[in-house]
Homo-oligomer: A and B are copies of this chain.
């Protein structure tokens, strides 16, 4: 951490700060510049709070030097994190394709989708049994029944299953049926949920919040890693900006940024970013070429009748056609779909 003093701050103020630094077990390094004094803090502690210095007399600004996450950082873990969940490889050469409907609506529906996306090349089945809906009057999901259908569909199709868990008291139930537990964008900073999920020994699929900086996303991953979970998959699904042509603005640079600062795999969800089926293919192709480790795509057998997110869902034939295009792009960058 670095403390920037106000121009003309008297020596007593500098001394007072040095004392405060030393009383917290750190050491101070003073640089008397021509214009102003700068004080560097060396500390072995990870939790030294910059705000404790900000209010001291004479302080103009406090600048953090190190990233606030550790276990999630590439400095700590230089190699990419790669793993296999129920047959799906992630983090390596192979690009994961997670596909399925927004909501599980019936056993027939989810089994039909599962078979179709598997045939097309998907490596994981997605689907929601608990749905966070902005309206209390909207369909809220089938609950445990939906989880059972998903499990059945995953088995029938030979695909691992990823589904959202929204509250702590659902974790045990969801663990019975799902291979990967998803934390939704609205829960990315539900730290209690993250703490519990860190302990259960299952892979976690962590979606970026709509207003979360990539650093915030890595801090939330840090909660999972600190709890003991090593199989964390990050997911970019669009952030909220002033642009209304799309539901969210897909931050494709998240791929390169995450790859630079972290070892964790990063998946893109073009469906929630686009908000409309017309843009999904373009975004998916772009994501793969940019280096994403996987895609999560909404597929529904009959989008017009979907109970949620129909307008952004591909049909199974549209998905199959997209996978063919993705294969070619993946090969062009020496990866595989």
Among the listed B167, B251, B306, which residue makes an inter-chain contact with A243, where contact means beta carbons less than 8 Å apart? Answer: B251
Looking at A42-50, A83-91, A148-156, the stretch in contact with chain B turns out to be A42-50
A129 CB to nearest chain B CB (Å) = 13
Contact B66 A283 (CB under 8 A): no
What are 19 of the A-B contact pairs (CB < 8 Å)?
A47-B138, A49-B307, A51-B309, A52-B306, A52-B310, A69-B135, A132-B191, A135-B222, A166-B190, A168-B169, A186-B190, A211-B211, A213-B244, A249-B251, A253-B279, A260-B278, A285-B290, A285-B291, A289-B289
Residues of chain A from 257 to 280 with CB closer than 8 A to chain B in the complex: 257, 259-260, 273-274, 276-279
Against B, the Cβ 8 Å flags (1 = close, 0 = not) of A7-35 are 10000000000000000000001010111
Looking at A110-118, A119-127, A172-180, A326-334, the stretch in contact with chain B turns out to be A326-334
Determine if A303 is an interface residue (Cβ-Cβ < 8 Å).
Answer: yes
Please tell me how many copies of the chain the complex holds: 4
> A253 vs B279: C-alpha distance in the bound complex, in angstroms?
7
Contacts of A256 in B (CB 8 A): 274, 278-279, 282-283
Most chain B beta-carbon neighbours within 10 Å: one of A40, A69, A285, A311: A285
Contacts of A273 in B (CB 8 A): 253
> A73 vs B305: C-alpha distance in the bound complex, in angstroms?
29
> A213 vs B249: C-alpha distance in the bound complex, in angstroms?
11
> A195 vs B23: C-alpha distance in the bound complex, in angstroms?
47
A198 CB to nearest chain B CB (Å) = 9
Among the listed B54, B63, B325, which residue makes an inter-chain contact with A2, where contact means beta carbons less than 8 Å apart? Answer: B63
> A211 vs B289: C-alpha distance in the bound complex, in angstroms?
27
Using a CB–CB distance below 8 Å, which chain A residues touch chain B? Answer: 2, 4, 7, 29, 31, 33-36, 38, 40, 42, 44, 46-47, 49, 51-52, 54-56, 61, 63, 65-66, 68-69, 75, 130, 132-138, 140, 166-169, 186-187, 189-193, 195, 209-211, 213-216, 219-220, 222-223, 226-227, 239-246, 249-253, 255-257, 259-260, 273-274, 276-279, 282-283, 285-291, 303-311, 325, 328-329, 331-333
> A138 vs B68: C-alpha distance in the bound complex, in angstroms?
10
Q: Is the interface of A mostly helix, strand, loop or mixed?
A: mixed
Contact A214 B245 (CB under 8 A): yes
Residue of B whose beta carbon sits closest to that of A195 = B136
Contact A40 B42 (CB under 8 A): no
> A332 vs B134: C-alpha distance in the bound complex, in angstroms?
39
> A38 vs B1: C-alpha distance in the bound complex, in angstroms?
10
A227 CB to nearest chain B CB (Å) = 8
Contacts of A31 in B (CB 8 A): 29, 31, 40
> A195 vs B133: C-alpha distance in the bound complex, in angstroms?
12
A111 CB to nearest chain B CB (Å) = 23
Contact A249 B249 (CB under 8 A): yes
Residue of B whose beta carbon sits closest to that of A220 = B134
> A203 vs B244: C-alpha distance in the bound complex, in angstroms?
29
Residue of B whose beta carbon sits closest to that of A166 = B192
> A271 vs B279: C-alpha distance in the bound complex, in angstroms?
23
Known: A189-B134, A244-B213, A244-B244. A54 touches B286 (CB 8 A): no
